[in-house]
Structure 1
Amino acid sequence: MNPLLSSRRRLLGAAALLGLHPLMAGAQSGAWPQRPLKLVVPGPPGAGSDIFARLLAVNLQEALGQPVVVDNRAGANGLIGNEAVARAAADGYTLLLSPSSAIAINPVIQPRMPYDARKDLQPVAQVGSAGVLLVANPATGLRSLADLVRAVRAQPDRIVYGSWGSGSTGHLVMEGIKAEYGLVMPHVPYKGVSPLVADLLANTIGVGFVDIASPVPHIRAGKLVALGCTGSARGPALPEVPTLTEQGYRFDVDGWYGVFVPAGTSPAVVQRLNREINRILATPEVVQKFAAQNMPRPPLKSAEEFSATVWRDMDSWQALARTARLRVE
């Protein structure tokens, strides 16, 4: 073959590739998303994370131009759903909406985690800051944290409390309360919020920590009594319910709901998701819907700011776990 012709062909080929490369790169960067997205919720239908995920999914679908399907994967205090996302392809099509307990608390108290949240998950956006509610069946006669402390001290072991899972936020907070006030209260861990609320309504169990959203209708109907909430501020749907801090309990770390993707997901996809989610959360309609579910106005953090919140909270929960000498049951 003529060396000059061969060289010319190589140069033409290289030029063609160089010419096509920006177009290909542009297509790749603009191609996402080209198919439906899955939003994994590590809780059952009706739980707080599920309620907020469905509100977010409807609006995110409109923003991205692709269906966003909510996939409930409940169990093991969020480990099942969170691990599924941690092991998923980092292609931007599998998202996670998780409560803080499943991300920040599990690594503190689980002796053998099936994944490493710091290495396997990428924080995207904080959907909201939210505490948990301490509620009781009206038949107990309890109306405040002080009532609970007096009742338990008078008859240790008589009052049993429930949480939506071993290692959940409610479990950890109640163990901290027990440690601070010297209380003896057996713990019954449920597999999710829904069965816990059902047993609280039936007075099968007298007291429990639940998420901020699912019990609101029952509290308004007088079927449950809210004794207090964690967090730095009262919930917008239940402004009459004081925080536990107002009632003298010293530990205060806000819980949160957040969106995550598998580690290694394109930074461009992470930033696009953060931008779209924050835009959705800032709309008056969504703010109003979240407030109706007792969710305070979202903080609208960048992905980097949310990451800092997640890892900082791990340290705070670890301190509480040490104080309460907590272990998974």
Structure 2
Amino acid sequence: MRKFRFAWGVWTAALLLGGAGVAQAESWPAQPIRIVVPFAAGGGVDNVARSLAAQLSTQIGQTVIVENRTGAGGLIGTSYVANASPDGYTLLLGTQTTLAVAPLMNPNSGLDPLKALTGVSQVASSPLLLVANPAFEAQTLPDLLAYAKRNPGQLNYGSGGVGTTPHMAAALLGLMAGVKMTHVPYKGEQPALTDVVGNQIPVMFSNLSAAMPFAKSGKLKALAISTAQRSPELPDVPTVAEAGVAGFEAATWFGVVGPKGMPKDRIERLDKEIEKAMQTPELVERLQGQGLTVAYGDSGQFNAYIASEYDKWKRVIEEAGIAAQ
């Protein structure tokens, strides 16, 4: 009889604990969620994170805050999230730079994003615009490539720094087109653009939102767009692939990731809420106002995309001999 009572008590306790676990899972999130941005406040990544956080807070009835953890080209904030508890309360707004390029260029960081992080949802992307000073002789991308072939290593191109997406796009173009160009890194994209406008350097890839005002005003020539499709903002500008470099594609992309080991149900809940958020006119309008394109991808799609981008830029870094500075 005692054994029966003991067994009954154990079974009842287990049932109650199990019920509490179910209730806890159903009530998630029970506290604020943090989206870590590994760059300074006010930049493009920060703006995307804050726009998304505001919409998610409205949807899930729980505060979603943005926390800036800067340094080491985004690796400090990225590593912080990789080492956080995989409970779904600490997330990262990752980019091509932080998830595919910076870890490869800084192997001593010990961060392997494919092993330490898991994708939740891709949210947006930004095309790059290849622009040139109006005085530069090339009127088209084929003209530019012909010039580079006639003058190997003499065509300078700018970027916002080593390893930035504009730098990597130009390196990819050089490899795919078989031309040698010289990289001139700046401390930020805007100073580089200013020097292209001032004809200190002739060309560069730039994020569409930054370069488009100069292209529309005639201060710069738009030669090509980096994505597989033309931009609705500049429908007359051909893609790099259309202009003769088949298969070329590059973009700045943004997506939510979390520490490896997050429970599947929490990833699915977050993914579902982000998908819903990306369909709201308010968020779409805010992102488009930043020159971005909504590019939602679910967890499985995003993980596959991160892996493909990691492999792609690893080849570019190795073949172009790019090293961190």
TM-score (norm 1): 0.83
Q: Where in structure 2 are the equivalents of 1:42-53 lying within 5 Å?
A: 42-53=38-49
Mapped to 1, the partners of 2:71 and 2:221 lie a distance apart of 27
Which is further off, 127-136 or 60-69? 127-136
Change (3 A) 1:193 1:8: farther
Match of 2:255 among 242, 253, 258: 258
Mapped to 2, the partners of 1:241 and 1:44 lie a distance apart of 32
Q: Residue type matched to 2:255 in 1?
A: G
How many angstroms does 1:277 deviate by?
Answer: 0.7
Q: Where in structure 2 are the equivalents of 1:76-91 lying within 5 Å?
A: 76-91=72-87
Mapped to 1, the partners of 2:4 and 2:133 lie a distance apart of 84
Is the contact between residue 93 and residue 257 of structure 2 (CA under 8 Å) also seen in structure 1? yes
How many angstroms does 1:93 deviate by?
Answer: 1.7
Residue 303 in 1 paired to residue 299 in 2?
Answer: yes
Is the contact between residue 47 and residue 214 of structure 1 (CA under 8 Å) also seen in structure 2? no
- Report the 3-state secondary structure (helix = DSSP H, G, I; strand = E; otherwise coil) of the residue aligned with 2:65: strand
Is the contact between residue 237 and residue 292 of structure 1 (CA under 8 Å) also seen in structure 2? no
- Identify unmatched segments of 5+ residues in structure 2: none
**What is aligned with 1:229?**
225
Q: What is the percent sequence identity of the aligned residues?
A: 36
Q: Where in structure 2 are the equivalents of 1:105-124 lying within 5 Å?
A: 105-124=101-120
**What is aligned with 1:279?**
276
Mapped to 2, the partners of 1:41 and 1:308 lie a distance apart of 22
Change (3 A) 1:50 1:196: farther
Match of 1:32 among 28, 34, 54: 28
**What is aligned with 1:290?**
287
Q: Residue type matched to 1:55 in 2?
A: S
- Report the 3-state secondary structure (helix = DSSP H, G, I; strand = E; otherwise coil) of the residue aligned with 2:209: coil
Change (3 A) 1:191 1:14: farther
- Report the 3-state secondary structure (helix = DSSP H, G, I; strand = E; otherwise coil) of the residue aligned with 1:244: coil
Is the contact between residue 241 and residue 249 of structure 2 (CA under 8 Å) also seen in structure 1? no
Residue 320 in 1 paired to residue 316 in 2?
Answer: yes
Q: Where in structure 2 are the equivalents of 1:242-253 lying within 5 Å?
A: 242-253=238-249
- Report the 3-state secondary structure (helix = DSSP H, G, I; strand = E; otherwise coil) of the residue aligned with 1:305: helix
How many angstroms does 1:328 deviate by?
Answer: 3.5
- Report the 3-state secondary structure (helix = DSSP H, G, I; strand = E; otherwise coil) of the residue aligned with 2:39: coil
Q: Residue type matched to 1:249 in 2?
A: V
How many angstroms does 1:98 deviate by?
Answer: 1.7
Is the contact between residue 103 and residue 111 of structure 2 (CA under 8 Å) also seen in structure 1? no
Change (3 A) 1:47 1:311: same
Mapped to 1, the partners of 2:257 and 2:286 lie a distance apart of 22
- Report the 3-state secondary structure (helix = DSSP H, G, I; strand = E; otherwise coil) of the residue aligned with 2:35: strand
Change (3 A) 1:38 1:236: farther
Q: Residue type matched to 2:275 in 1?
A: N
- Identify unmatched segments of 5+ residues in structure 1: none
How many angstroms does 1:153 deviate by?
Answer: 5.3
**What is aligned with 1:177?**
173
Is the contact between residue 75 and residue 103 of structure 2 (CA under 8 Å) also seen in structure 1? no
Is the contact between residue 212 and residue 294 of structure 1 (CA under 8 Å) also seen in structure 2? yes
Match of 1:269 among 260, 266, 284: 266
Mapped to 2, the partners of 1:76 and 1:202 lie a distance apart of 30
Deviation string, structure 1 residues 282-309 (Cα, Å, up to 9, x no partner): 23443344344443342x4321122112
Deviation string, structure 1 residues 75-127 (Cα, Å, up to 9, x no partner): 54432332222122222122111222321234544443421111110101111
- Report the 3-state secondary structure (helix = DSSP H, G, I; strand = E; otherwise coil) of the residue aligned with 1:112: helix
Match of 2:206 among 196, 207, 210: 210
How many angstroms does 1:196 deviate by?
Answer: 4.2
Runs of at least 4 residues off by over 6 Å: none
Which is further off, 199-208 or 121-130? 199-208
Mapped to 1, the partners of 2:313 and 2:28 lie a distance apart of 36
- Report the 3-state secondary structure (helix = DSSP H, G, I; strand = E; otherwise coil) of the residue aligned with 2:206: strand
How many angstroms does 1:200 deviate by?
Answer: 4.8
Q: Residue type matched to 1:118 in 2?
A: L
CA RMSD of aligned residues (A): 3.1
Which is further off, 277-286 or 267-276? 277-286
The count of residues paired between Structure 1 and Structure 2 equals 324
- Report the 3-state secondary structure (helix = DSSP H, G, I; strand = E; otherwise coil) of the residue aligned with 2:52: helix
Mapped to 2, the partners of 1:77 and 1:323 lie a distance apart of 22
How many angstroms does 1:25 deviate by?
Answer: 1.0
